[in-house]
């Protein structure tokens, strides 16, 4: 790895770790949600840096663009939740710190002991390979999964409509 590539990697990794600490340690829920933006954006940057362009763009579109915006809207639209302060933070940190340090040490040991294969970056984007795989060898499982999800969506709508209909129907008086 070249020195410039190492600088980019460590800068992205530091941004992810610092933002994740901001998510966990912020006293305001709005600050915590905005720190989550940095964490998810940094992870997307790491995906893009290693050449996984589909995962990087999906991370940005789904998590940053969808989930995080939904979380921020839920926080800001809820009456006065943005003004609330977290008060039991110190108790959680003292309880979780030893297990977090132990897990971090275990992960670091595993990462350093693992013989990671070194390969050249792929010249073609990963989206082309994913598209070929989804439309060739994985077409049938992909379509079956889409049908199962469609059936689950229709079933949820039927159940919700039935529950709403029972709520609005006047009670039978005997």
| Rounded Cα gap, residues 55 and 61, in angstroms | 10
Q: What is the mean pLDDT of residues 136-164?
A: 88
What are the residues whose beta carbons fall under 8 Å from the beta carbon of 9, sequence distance 6 or more? 1, 46, 49
Please identify which residue in the block is written with the tokens 């990697």. 9
Higher pLDDT, 79 or 144: 144
For the whole model, what pTM was predicted? Answer: 0.60
* CATH class of domain segment(s) 3-123: mainly alpha
Domain boundaries, the chain: 3-123, 138-174
Rank 62-71, 103-112, 130-139, 162-171 by mean pLDDT and report only the highest.
103-112
Q: Which residue has the higher pLDDT, 171 or 145?
A: 145
Instruction: Give residues with Cβ within 8 angstroms of 38, minimum separation 6.
Output: 15, 16, 18, 19, 22
Give tens-digit pLDDT for 134-148: 788 888 988 999 999
**In this predicted structure, what is the pLDDT of residue 64?**
85
- CA-angle at 55, arms to 49 and 58, nearest 5°: 120
CA distances from 156 to 149, 151, 162, 166 (A): 10, 9, 10, 15
Q: Measure the N-to-C terminal CA separation of the chain; round to a whole number of Å.
A: 80
Number of residues in the chain: 174
Percentage of the chain exceeding pLDDT 90: 26
Using pLDDT thresholds of 50, 70 and 90, give the confidence band for residue 98: confident
Q: Among 44, 68, 66, which Cα is nearest to 54's? A: 44
CA–CA distance, 19 with 41 (Å, rounded to integer): 10
Q: What average pLDDT does the segment 68-90 reach?
A: 68
């Amino acid at each position: 790895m070249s020195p410039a590539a190492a600088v980019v990697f460590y800068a992205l990794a530091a941004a992810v770790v610092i933002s994740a600490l901001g998510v966990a340690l912020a006293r305001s829920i709005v600050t915590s949600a905005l720190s989550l933006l940095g964490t998810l954006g940094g992870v997307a940057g790491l995906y893009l840096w290693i050449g996984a362009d589909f995962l990087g763009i999906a991370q940005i579109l789904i998590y940053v663009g969808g989930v995080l915006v939904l979380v921020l809207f839920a926080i800001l639209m809820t009456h006065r939740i943005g003004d609330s302060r977290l008060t039991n933070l110190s108790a959680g940190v003292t309880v979780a710190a030893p297990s977090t340090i132990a897990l971090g040490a275990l992960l670091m040991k595993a990462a350093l002991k693992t013989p990671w294969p070194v390969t050249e970056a792929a010249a073609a984007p990963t989206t082309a390979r994913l598209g070929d795989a989804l439309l060739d060898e994985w077409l049938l499982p992909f379509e079956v999964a889409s049908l199962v999800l469609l059936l689950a969506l229709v079933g949820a709508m039927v159940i919700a409509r039935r529950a709403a209909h029972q709520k609005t129907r006047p009670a039978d008086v005997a």
